[in-house]
């Protein structure tokens, strides 16, 4: 009976993990594309664009309200989060705001395909910080995957000026390249920090609590970017920019709203994958979606796909295959060892029963 319940719980966990991976896929592929649309059609406000990455945080209130309504008969607490968890989420949220700005700057200066490939280096940072902060387990396949992905980004960086957008200076392009790389490194730290917060929460960890952490993180990230918008006078410029937008004023606001919602999918999916698995898997999934973003950028924005990008993409795909092959092998070995252990226990019990029966023979 207990074994069936355990199998059922494991199956449901896999289902929820897949759902969060799909939510992450929507945000990870759609976010960079719609952000690039804002810039290529006349948008110039980097702080505003970074604000939109987490500005959709009120969307998280909807599932939280549903969760509160369902438990109202048994638990009247509005929020489960304890002060120390709130403080950790606030700090991580502020770091996320800084990361949003650096990433938005990179997307403003680089083609989507290039910025996406640079973001692939995030996996190397995530792996390193996960090892230090949460003692992440590594295999030879995991290390091979991280090395291949990092090499892919290095190959891309060898000829960075080859796909510089028209009218953009070499300095602006290089600044975008390095800020995108810094954004990848910082988010590579943020993912393990979220997992560490889960581990040291000192309270029952539920998906409702995970959504509360997401809400606080995005609120503080948005607050950070709001300060940047005020200093840069972005709020006064939004109406003027909307009127000059190539797709029209109405579509300007549609792009802004859609951007905020799609990016919420990214953040909610990322922390959900961490909750149901690990920060390393979250980083892997983000990087796995790179080919889809690459293809969509070439289709929608007619971006050039040079030889360096092809080599980088090949190394990235090789890295993905290496990671998942190693993970499958590890799980099979783990299951085999578990079955052998069960068989040994059963044989031991059988031998013990036979010995007891023999001692009772008259």
Task: Give alpha helix (H) positions in 165-233.
Answer: 170-199, 207-232
**Host domain of residue 93:** 19-326
Q: What is the DSSP string of 9-38?
A: HHHHHHHHHHHHHHHHHHHHHHHHHHHHHH
Residue 356 pLDDT: 45
Question: Is 347 inside any structural domain?
Answer: no
Residue 158 pLDDT: 61
Residue 355 pLDDT: 46
Question: Is 349 inside any structural domain?
Answer: no
pLDDT digits (tens, 9 = 90+) for 245-262: 999 999 999 999 999 999
User: Structurally, how many domains does the chain consist of?
Assistant: 1
Question: Is 259 inside any structural domain?
Answer: yes
Q: What is the DSSP string of 145-162?
A: HHHHHHHHHHHHHTTGGG
DSSP state of 273: H
Work out the burial of residue 181: count CB atoms within 10 Å of its CB; fewer than 13 is exposed, 13-18 middle, 19 or more buried.
Answer: buried
Question: Within a 13 Å sphere around the CA of 145, how many CA atoms are in the beta-carbon half?
Answer: 28
Work out the burial of residue 306: count CB atoms within 10 Å of its CB; fewer than 13 is exposed, 13-18 middle, 19 or more buried.
Answer: middle
Question: Is 208 inside any structural domain?
Answer: yes
| Global pTM value | 0.82
**Residue ranges of the chain with per-residue pLDDT less than 50:** 351, 353, 355-356, 359-362
pLDDT digits (tens, 9 = 90+) for 155-199: 765 655 555 666 677 888 889 889 999 999 999 999 999 999 999
If you count DSSP H runs as helices and E runs as strands, how many of each does the chain have, helices first?
14, 0
Question: Is 340 inside any structural domain?
Answer: no
């Amino acid at each position: 009976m207990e074994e069936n319940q355990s199998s059922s719980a494991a199956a449901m966990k896999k289902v929820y993990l897949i759902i969060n991976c799909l939510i992450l896929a929507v945000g990870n592929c759609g976010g960079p594309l719609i952000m690039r649309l804002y810039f290529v059609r006349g948008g110039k406000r980097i702080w505003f664009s970074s604000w939109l990455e987490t500005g959709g945080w009120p969307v998280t209130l909807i599932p939280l309200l549903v969760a509160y309504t369902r438990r109202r008969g048994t638990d009247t607490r509005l929020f489960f989060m304890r002060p120390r968890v709130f403080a950790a989420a606030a700090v991580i949220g502020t770091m996320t705001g800084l990361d949003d700005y650096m990433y938005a700057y990179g997307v403003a200066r680089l083609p989507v395909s290039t910025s996406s490939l640079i973001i692939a280096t995030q996996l190397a940072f995530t792996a390193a910080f996960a090892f230090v902060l949460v003692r992440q387990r590594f295999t030879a396949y995991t290390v091979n995957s991280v090395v291949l992905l990092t090499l892919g980004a290095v190959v891309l960086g060898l000829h960075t000026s080859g796909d510089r957008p028209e009218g953009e200076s070499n300095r602006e392009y290089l600044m975008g390249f390095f800020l995108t790389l810094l954004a990848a490194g910082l988010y590579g730290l943020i993912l393990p920090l979220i997992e560490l917060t889960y581990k040291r929460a000192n309270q029952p960890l539920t998906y409702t609590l995970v959504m509360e952490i997401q809400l606080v993180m995005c609120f503080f990230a948005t607050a950070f970017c709001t300060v940047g918008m005020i200093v840069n006078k972005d709020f006064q410029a939004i109406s003027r920019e909307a009127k000059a937008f190539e797709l029209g004023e109405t579509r300007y606001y549609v792009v802004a709203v859609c951007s905020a919602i799609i990016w919420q999918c990214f953040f909610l999916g990322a922390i959900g994958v961490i909750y149901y698995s690990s920060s390393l898997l979250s980083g892997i999934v983000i990087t796995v979606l790179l080919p889809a973003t690459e293809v969509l950028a070439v289709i929608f924005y007619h971006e050039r796909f040079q030889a360096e990008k092809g080599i980088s993409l090949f190394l990235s795909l090789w890295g993905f295959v290496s990671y998942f092959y190693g993970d499958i092998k590890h799980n099979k070995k783990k299951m085999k060892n578990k079955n052998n252990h069960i068989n040994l226990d059963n044989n031991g019990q059988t031998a013990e029963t036979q010995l007891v029966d023999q001692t009772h023979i008259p």
